[in-house]
């Protein structure tokens, strides 16, 4: 389009807009008004000369909607500084008989006074204010005059002399008006008048305005007195220190004392400005003054809670007063610490406690909003409000929790800085706050507010800064994992995965880290739900941001690649989007195997993919991968730092959580490299303190936590979902022996176990022992029994040797069974089993569950007997090597009644890359074996690996 054509088009468009303003209906006119800013951008000259005059002509007889729209648009046009004087139309609109229209134009005038030029202010606006302040005008116009005078007083074109000469007489007259609405309106504008007179000196303000304030503060109307209190506080910055000490502080005390009298409700206005009052008066306060204001604050914080309160007082007014008091808690805390620090633990705390435990949820919500600031101000004294923090965490009102949850991490870190909480060892405050936080989580997840749930999980990212690693793993890891698996909202599950990864990163014990990684693989990556597998990809996206490349390639890389063959297209699509990041973290030649794996998968997808969206995304990502140039040095340095931090954590040394919550969402590219050929896990050698000898253990023994009893979750008001019953086991069975009583109980349990094994004729089970001859390696000092399968049969002497050595066993009875062929046999078979019947050789076991709430690494089999059936998973065993361990705390046999309370069978895989394949078999124990053992028949679902 040429310039001439464009000019012609704009001309026709403006003519059409002009026609609509003249002959169109109301909707068309309002549309033209709304388009004025755009019209000014395209053709300012034509709009000013044609459209705006038409609007001014239509105003006198226009509808209310038209006037309201034009009043708002005129405010926009004046701020745009167009070359048109719109003030006459604004002043004309104020005179409208319709109060709605007049009020709209008044708001427009007050909004544009600050941008109007000096001549317009002095010649038009000031004259309008003077005319409307006359007693012959109605009270509405005099109230409008008060507002205009307040705005004129602070205008840049008005000098202090002009304010004193032209404005101050009108102010003094309006402060004595016969209508209380006018007096209140003028009283509200006194701070602006004081600002206009301030350059003439403090004496002018003191002489001319303070008498007006004193008079208004004694007004018969409560609204005027309330407004006088607010103006008195706002005018303090324009007074000298001597005036404040000699006049304002006594006046404030007088007003506060009067508000405490019966029937006076100005205490609500005082509570509303109490923060500003304390801030302005504190530099000139003495200790006695501070104590007086603290006493008054304590008094108004209890308004409406006393039974002897004035019955005519509106409860909502008292509630509003207490809510305003709660908002000014940080300022009051600063004053008390600075002036009268000895009262913190006495009068101040009693007041704070009353507000934090207020019966009205709105007051508690205000306390929760400022709780973090109060904790920071208190510093070393913040331990006195730990109990109040736990009460707020246990609050059942959603709004209170919504106000408190965004500040939880800051509050906990402040407690940690002052040693109220400790990262190394659990203290009593750790237990109390932990229970309360679990209660808070339980209450929050009952609501439909997914943003609050997400925010809570985000706050838990910083738990490693405040709680011991054991404590977090025992009580928070299962809850976060539950939110990851069963969370409804997608943002909640995504944030849960990120929080779980951060806890994994900063967990100090290998068995804790192993458990979390196993649950991620089994519950997400290998889940039967496509939504959970999609969450696993989201988890990997977060893992790239959190872990080093070395760690990611070791534990997340291969399972993520396997999702490229997922039957659901959206899962494959999500996985393809991460391919460029996966390729960039590969460093050749060390990662040649991973590179070949990635290339093969992408080539296969390119040939076999049928989904259009996945195929299109795959082509884009392949093109992006080919154009990859290199990695920035900053990314390599960051990866090196992460790898060094992870090495320290692997050695059991705690590392500070540095800006983990502000970590960039952009995938960081790491530089640390490791050969991705996964090696078997090496057993850890542990020395027994008593003997100094060595024993092997498949995981690190966690440190005991004596004060964590079985009632932790009951006290917290929390019960974990039953889904965790089959993936957690007791932690105390790994704790070292401490007392002779424990040793005696363990010996008795071991003797009962041996007797039971003999009763069911384990040594006569031909299917189990065929071509296998157990060999015993017994070390009395280690109190460990190890059994390896070789090509022998279990002899009578071997059984007697096992029975003899059970009196010296520790808490870990180890039976190491190694099979020489890939065929899996049952651990318990009847004598009458027919060798030729293959169906009789199927695995048979007891159905025993475990009710522990402490998660441990579960590359093994969990069995327990408590009346509930649980399922479990079993890892595929390379070389057919299996380890079975009977733990001491899970065995409690009664020989007289032949009852079993709990038995834990744990199977450990010697490799990290063993992948579970679930195959369910449900059978009861053979009736002959049940007859010998005296046990009830049970059914158990076990996991059997697929055969290649």
Confidence of residue 312 (pLDDT cuts 50, 70, 90): low
Residue 673 lies in a domain: no
Tokens 């779980």 sit on residue: 500
Residue 620 lies in a domain: no
3-state secondary structure (DSSP) of residue 941: strand
Do 936 and 890 share a domain, yes or no?
Answer: yes
More confident residue, 42 or 163: 163
453's tokens: 């749930």
Q: What is the pLDDT of residue 34?
A: 87
Q: What is the pLDDT of residue 893?
A: 36
Residue 62 lies in a domain: yes
Whether the per-residue pLDDT at 699 is higher than 60: the answer is: no
Q: What is the pLDDT of residue 417?
A: 93
Confidence of residue 49 (pLDDT cuts 50, 70, 90): confident
**Nearest C-alpha neighbor of 934 from the set 898, 906, 903:** 898
Please check whether residue 875 is in contact with residue 914, taking contact to mean a CB–CB distance below 8 angstroms. yes
Q: Which domain-ending residue is among 106, 127, 152?
A: 106
Q: For 905-928, what is the mean pLDDT?
A: 38
Whether the per-residue pLDDT at 85 is higher than 80: the answer is: yes
Choose the weakest-confidence range: 167-176, 368-377, 499-508, 702-711: 702-711
Please check whether residue 368 is in contact with residue 340, taking contact to mean a CB–CB distance below 8 angstroms. no
Q: What is the pLDDT of residue 185?
A: 93
CA distances from 56 to 21, 397, 795, 797, 943 (A): 11, 54, 113, 115, 84
Long-range (24+ apart) CB contacts under 8 A made by 113-117 are 113/148, 113/151, 113/152, 113/155, 114/151, 114/155, 115/78, 115/79, 115/81, 116/78, 116/87, 117/157
- Tens of pLDDT, residue by residue over 400-417, are 999 999 999 999 999 999
Give dist(CA 387, CA 554) in Å, integer. Answer: 44
Degrees, nearest 5: CA angle 634-636-638: 70
Do 786 and 932 share a domain, yes or no?
Answer: yes
Please check whether residue 915 is in contact with residue 876, taking contact to mean a CB–CB distance below 8 angstroms. yes
Do 784 and 850 share a domain, yes or no?
Answer: yes
Strands (E), 674-714: 684-687, 694-697
Q: For 778-799, what is the mean pLDDT?
A: 38
Please check whether residue 554 is in contact with residue 676, taking contact to mean a CB–CB distance below 8 angstroms. yes
Q: Which residues pair with 543 in a beta bridge?
A: none
Q: For 69-87, what is the mean pLDDT?
A: 89
Q: What is the pLDDT of residue 887?
A: 37
* Average predicted confidence (pLDDT) for the chain: 74
Do 780 and 907 share a domain, yes or no?
Answer: yes
Q: Which domain-ending residue is among 220, 239, 258?
A: 239
**Parallel, antiparallel, or unpaired for β 905-907 and 784-790?**
unpaired
Q: What is the pLDDT of residue 198?
A: 85
Torsion over CA: 96, 99, 104, 105 (sign):
positive
Question: How large a percentage of the chain has pLDDT more than 90?
Answer: 41
CA distances from 856 to 426, 823, 892 (A): 19, 29, 21
Residue 904 lies in a domain: yes
> What sections of 462-611 are H helices per DSSP?
469-475, 477-486, 490-506, 510-520, 530-546, 549-555, 557-562, 569-577, 579-584, 592-608
Q: What is the pLDDT of residue 19?
A: 83
Q: Can you say how many angstroms the Cα of residue 133 is from the centroid of all Cα atoms in its chain?
A: 55
More confident residue, 905 or 428: 428
Do 96 and 190 share a domain, yes or no?
Answer: no
> What sections of 784-824 are H helices per DSSP?
796-805
Give dist(CA 584, CA 639) in Å, integer. Answer: 13
Do 752 and 855 share a domain, yes or no?
Answer: yes
Residue 293 lies in a domain: no
Greatest mean pLDDT among 260-269, 399-408, 712-721 lies in: 399-408
Q: For 455-472, what is the mean pLDDT?
A: 94
Residue 832: is it exposed, middle or buried by C-beta count within 10 angstroms (0-12/13-18/19+)? exposed
363's tokens: 């007051």
Give dist(CA 197, CA 192) in Å, integer. Answer: 9
Do 739 and 839 share a domain, yes or no?
Answer: yes
More confident residue, 834 or 559: 559
Do 153 and 62 share a domain, yes or no?
Answer: no
Query: What phi, psi does 35 have (nearest 5°)?
Result: -90, 5
Do 865 and 841 share a domain, yes or no?
Answer: yes
The Cβ of residue 156 has, within 10 Å, a number of other Cβ atoms equal to 8
3-state secondary structure (DSSP) of residue 857: coil
Whether the per-residue pLDDT at 729 is higher than 50: the answer is: no
Q: What is the pLDDT of residue 329?
A: 95
Confidence of residue 5 (pLDDT cuts 50, 70, 90): low
Give dist(CA 712, CA 727) in Å, integer. Answer: 19
Task: Give the count of domains, the chain.
Answer: 3
Using only C-alpha atoms, the chain has a radius of gyration, in whole angstroms, of 39
Confidence of residue 54 (pLDDT cuts 50, 70, 90): confident
Give dist(CA 187, CA 172) in Å, integer. Answer: 10
Q: Which residues pair with 893 in a beta bridge?
A: 900
The enclosing domain of 122 has a CATH number of: 1.25.10.10
Do 806 and 762 share a domain, yes or no?
Answer: yes
Confidence of residue 658 (pLDDT cuts 50, 70, 90): low
Do 24 and 86 share a domain, yes or no?
Answer: yes
More confident residue, 425 or 811: 425
Q: What is the pLDDT of residue 448?
A: 92
Please check whether residue 388 is in contact with residue 420, taking contact to mean a CB–CB distance below 8 angstroms. no
Task: State the pTM of this model.
Answer: 0.67
Give dist(CA 334, CA 338) in Å, integer. Answer: 6
Whether the per-residue pLDDT at 753 is higher than 50: the answer is: no
Give dist(CA 552, CA 559) in Å, integer. Answer: 11
Residue 47: is it exposed, middle or buried by C-beta count within 10 angstroms (0-12/13-18/19+)? buried
Give dist(CA 889, CA 746) in Å, integer. Answer: 8
Greatest mean pLDDT among 421-435, 619-633, 860-874, 910-924 lies in: 421-435
Q: What is the pLDDT of residue 764?
A: 39
Please check whether residue 256 is in contact with residue 296, taking contact to mean a CB–CB distance below 8 angstroms. yes
Residue 159 lies in a domain: yes
Confidence of residue 574 (pLDDT cuts 50, 70, 90): very high
Q: Which domain-ending residue is among 239, 272, 287?
A: 239
317's tokens: 């007014």
Please check whether residue 236 is in contact with residue 244, taking contact to mean a CB–CB distance below 8 angstroms. yes
Which residue range forms the structural domain that includes residue 888? 732-943
Helices 490-506 and 450-459 pack at an angle, to 10 degrees, of: 10
Residue 451 lies in a domain: no
865's tokens: 């007997």
Do 78 and 126 share a domain, yes or no?
Answer: no
Q: For 122-131, what is the mean pLDDT?
A: 90
Query: What phi, psi does 923 have (nearest 5°)?
Result: -145, 155
Residue 311 lies in a domain: no
**Nearest C-alpha neighbor of 40 from the set 54, 50, 31:** 50
355's tokens: 């507000």
Question: For residues 922, 927, 933 and 938, what is the CA-based torsion angle, rounded to 10 degrees?
Answer: 30
């Amino acid at each position: 389009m040429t310039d001439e054509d464009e000019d012609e088009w704009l001309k026709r468009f403006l003519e059409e807009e002009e026609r609509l303003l003249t002959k169109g209906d109301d909707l068309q006119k309002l549309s033209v008004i709304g388009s004025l800013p755009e019209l000014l951008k395209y053709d300012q000259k034509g709009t000013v000369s044609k459209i705006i005059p038409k609007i001014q002509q239509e105003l006198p007889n226009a509808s209310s909607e038209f006037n309201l729209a034009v009043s708002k648009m005129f405010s926009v046009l004046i701020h745009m500084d167009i070359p048109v004087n719109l003030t006459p139309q604004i002043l004309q609109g104020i005179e409208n008989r319709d109060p709605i229209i007049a009020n709209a134009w008044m708001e427009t005038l007050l909004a544009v006074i600050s941008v109007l030029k000096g001549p317009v202010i002095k010649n038009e606006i000031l004259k309008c204010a003077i005319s409307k302040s006359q007693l012959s005008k109605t009270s509405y116009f005099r109230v409008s005059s008060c507002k205009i005078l307040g705005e004129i007083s602070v205008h840049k074109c008005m000098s202090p002399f002009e304010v004193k000469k032209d404005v101050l007489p009108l102010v003094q007259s309006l402060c004595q008006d016969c209508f209380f609405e006018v007096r209140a309106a003028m009283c509200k504008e006194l701070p602006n008048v004081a600002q206009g007179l301030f350059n003439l000196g403090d004496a002018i303000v003191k002489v001319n305005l303070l008498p007006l304030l004193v008079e208004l503060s004694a007004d018969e109307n409560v609204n005027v007195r309330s407004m006088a209190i607010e103006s008195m506080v706002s005018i303090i910055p324009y007074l000298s220190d001597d005036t404040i000490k000699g006049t304002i502080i006594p006046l404030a005390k007088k007003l506060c004392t009067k508000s405490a009298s019966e029937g006076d409700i100005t205490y609500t206005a005082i509570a509303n400005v109490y923060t500003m009052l304390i801030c302005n008066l504190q530099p000139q306060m003495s200790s006695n003054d501070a104590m007086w204001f603290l006493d008054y604050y304590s008094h108004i914080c209890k308004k409406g809670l006393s039974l002897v309160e004035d019955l005519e007082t509106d409860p909502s007014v008292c509630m509003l007063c207490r809510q305003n008091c709660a908002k000014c808690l940080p300022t009051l805390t600063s004053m008390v610490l600075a002036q009268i620090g000895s009262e913190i633990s006495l009068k101040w705390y009693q007041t704070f406690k009353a507000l934090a435990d207020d019966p009205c949820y709105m007051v508690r919500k205000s306390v929760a909003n400022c709780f973090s600031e109060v904790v920071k101000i208190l510093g070393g004294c913040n331990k006195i409000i730990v109990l109040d923090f736990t009460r707020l965490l246990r609050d059942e009102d959603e709004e209170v929790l919504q106000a408190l949850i965004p500040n939880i991490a800051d509050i906990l870190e402040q407690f940690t800085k002052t040693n109220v909480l400790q990262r190394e060892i659990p203290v009593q405050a750790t237990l109390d706050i932990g229970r309360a936080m679990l209660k808070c989580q339980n209450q929050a997840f009952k609501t439909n507010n997914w943003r609050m749930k997400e925010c809570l999980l985000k706050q838990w990212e910083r738990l490693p800064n405040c709680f011991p690693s054991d404590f977090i793993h025992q009580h928070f890891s299962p809850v976060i994992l539950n939110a990851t698996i069963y969370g409804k909202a997608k943002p909640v599950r995504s944030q849960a995965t990120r929080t779980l990864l951060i806890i994994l990163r900063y967990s100090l014990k290998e068995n804790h880290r192993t458990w979390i990684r196993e649950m991620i693989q089994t519950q997400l990556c290998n889940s039967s739900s496509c939504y959970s597998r999609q969450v696993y990809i989201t988890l990997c996206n977060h893992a790239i941001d959190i872990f080093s490349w070395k760690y990611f390639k070791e534990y997340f890389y291969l399972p993520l690649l396997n999702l490229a063959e997922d039957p659901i297209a959206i899962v494959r699509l999500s996985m393809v989007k991460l391919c460029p990041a996966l390729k960039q973290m590969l460093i050749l030649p060390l990662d040649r195997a991973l590179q070949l794996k990635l290339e093969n998968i992408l080539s296969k997808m390119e040939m076999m993919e049928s989904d259009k969206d996945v195929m299109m995304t795959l082509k884009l990502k392949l093109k992006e991968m080919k154009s990859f140039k290199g990695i920035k040095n900053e990314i390599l340095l960051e990866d090196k730092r992460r790898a060094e931090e992870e090495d320290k954590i692997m050695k059991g040394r705690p590392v500070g959580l540095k800006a983990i919550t502000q970590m960039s969402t952009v995938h960081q590219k790491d530089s640390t490299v490791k050969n991705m050929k996964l090696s078997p896990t090496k057993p850890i050698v542990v020395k027994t303190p008593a003997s100094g000898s060595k024993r092997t253990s498949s995981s690190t023994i966690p440190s005991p936590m004596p004060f964590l009893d079985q009632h932790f979750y009951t006290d917290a008001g929390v019960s974990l979902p039953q889904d965790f019953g089959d993936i957690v086991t007791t932690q105390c069975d790994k704790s070292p022996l401490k007392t002779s009583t424990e040793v005696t109980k363990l010996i008795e349990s071991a003797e009962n176990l041996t007797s039971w094994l003999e009763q069911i004729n384990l040594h006569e089970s031909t299917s189990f022992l065929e071509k296998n001859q157990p060999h015993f390696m017994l070390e009395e000092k280690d109190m460990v029994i190890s059994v390896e399968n070789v090509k022998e049969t279990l002899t009578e002497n071997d059984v007697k040797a096992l029975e003899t050595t059970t009196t010296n066993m520790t808490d870990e009875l180890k039976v190491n069974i190694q099979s020489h062929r890939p065929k899996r046999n049952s651990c318990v078979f009847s004598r009458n089993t027919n060798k030729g019947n293959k169906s009789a050789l199927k695995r048979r076991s007891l159905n025993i569950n475990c009710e522990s709430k402490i998660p441990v690494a579960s590359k093994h089999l969990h069995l327990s007997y408590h009346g509930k059936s649980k399922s479990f998973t079993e890892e595929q065993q390379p070389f057919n090597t299996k380890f079975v361990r009977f733990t001491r705390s899970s065995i409690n046999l009664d020989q007289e009644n032949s009852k079993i309370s709990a038995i834990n069978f744990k199977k450990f895989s010697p490799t990290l890359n063993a992948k579970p394949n679930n195959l369910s078999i449900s059978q009861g124990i053979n009736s002959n074996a049940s007859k010998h053992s005296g046990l009830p028949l049970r059914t158990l679902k076990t996991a059997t690996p697929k055969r290649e």
